[in-house]
Chains A and B, each alone.
Chain A
């Protein structure tokens, strides 16, 4: 991906604080973007209403989560867009099953196909 000069940007409904924690916890080098009011997600037609989210909620002991509590939230449909230098969308990859994400091999193959 570096070869073709493609940068990765990942946007979610997380707040900037969540995103900062996520970046630090998982040692991410990609650019995270926060869209807590779902403005961008909504504008792209990528709203998933009543998706299941897990949070530690108030079940913590000395800051250690004791349980993951499921709740229903609106969030993005996992979607990958490949965009060229002119700002044109060259490839869209969406999943109709949120458990299954864009496979790394498929993304890399598409990047090579698009940008050589």
Chain B
């Protein structure tokens, strides 16, 4: 067995998983996130399985385990994270308390400079009010 063989599957699995992550995240800034990312889910699953299989092979084959374990661990963790996040995608939309035709519910908030903002100041202005999840 060559030196590279035990590393081939963990390496390929990690490359597949991380490559899919990078490609997926690249769609975020432009707002072109795929609604049903089947290709990514397949890549994540196959990459994760390759990593697990590769690690199992490395365990059976003896020899160095640190590199296969690190690579496979990364691939499996990142693949699991992808599936976990995808499973968390739905948002509770049914609880909104305003509807089209309603008046704005008066509110106050704080500006980034720490000043108080009152929605009364929006009177006479056309506004696109975005509720968003926060910075990241």
| Residue of A with least CB distance to B132 | A12
- Answer yes or no: B31 CB below 8 A from chain A CBs: yes
Point out the residue from A44, A77, A84 that lies within 8 Å of B92, measured CB to CB.
A77
Chain B residues with Cβ below 8 Å from A95 are 91, 93
Known: A81-B98, A87-B103. A16 touches B110 (CB 8 A): yes
A9 to B97, CA, bound (A): 19
Q: Whole-angstrom distance from the CB of A16 to the nearest CB of chain B?
A: 5
| Residue of B with least CB distance to A83 | B127
A40 to B110, CA, bound (A): 11
A23 to B10, CA, bound (A): 41
A76 to B95, CA, bound (A): 11
Among B11-19, B44-52, B58-66, B82-90, the stretch that binds chain A is B82-90
Q: Hey, what's the 0/1 contact readout for B51-87 against A, CB within 8 Å counting as 1?
A: 0000000000000000000000000000001001100
| Residue of A with least CB distance to B33 | A99
A89 to B99, CA, bound (A): 7
Chain B residues with Cβ below 8 Å from A13 are 133-134
Q: A88–B101 contact, CB under 8 A?
A: yes
Known: A6-B127, A33-B117, A88-B103. A51 touches B88 (CB 8 A): yes
A19 to B126, CA, bound (A): 23
A43 to B103, CA, bound (A): 14
Q: B109–A35 contact, CB under 8 A?
A: yes
Q: B111–A44 contact, CB under 8 A?
A: no
Known: A88-B101, A88-B102. A19 touches B91 (CB 8 A): no
A11 to B108, CA, bound (A): 11
Q: B110–A34 contact, CB under 8 A?
A: yes
Where the two chains meet, the residues of A that have a C-beta atom closer than 8 Å to any C-beta of B are 1, 4-14, 16-23, 25-26, 31-36, 39-41, 43-49, 51-55, 70, 75-92, 94-104, 107, 111, 115
For the complex of A and B, 9 pairs with smallest distance between CB atoms: A45-B97, A22-B135, A20-B112, A33-B109, A76-B131, A10-B130, A19-B112, A45-B95, A12-B134
User: Assuming A13-B134, A45-B95, A104-B31, what are 6 further A-B pairs, CB within 8 angstroms?
Assistant: A11-B130, A35-B110, A40-B107, A44-B98, A89-B101, A89-B104
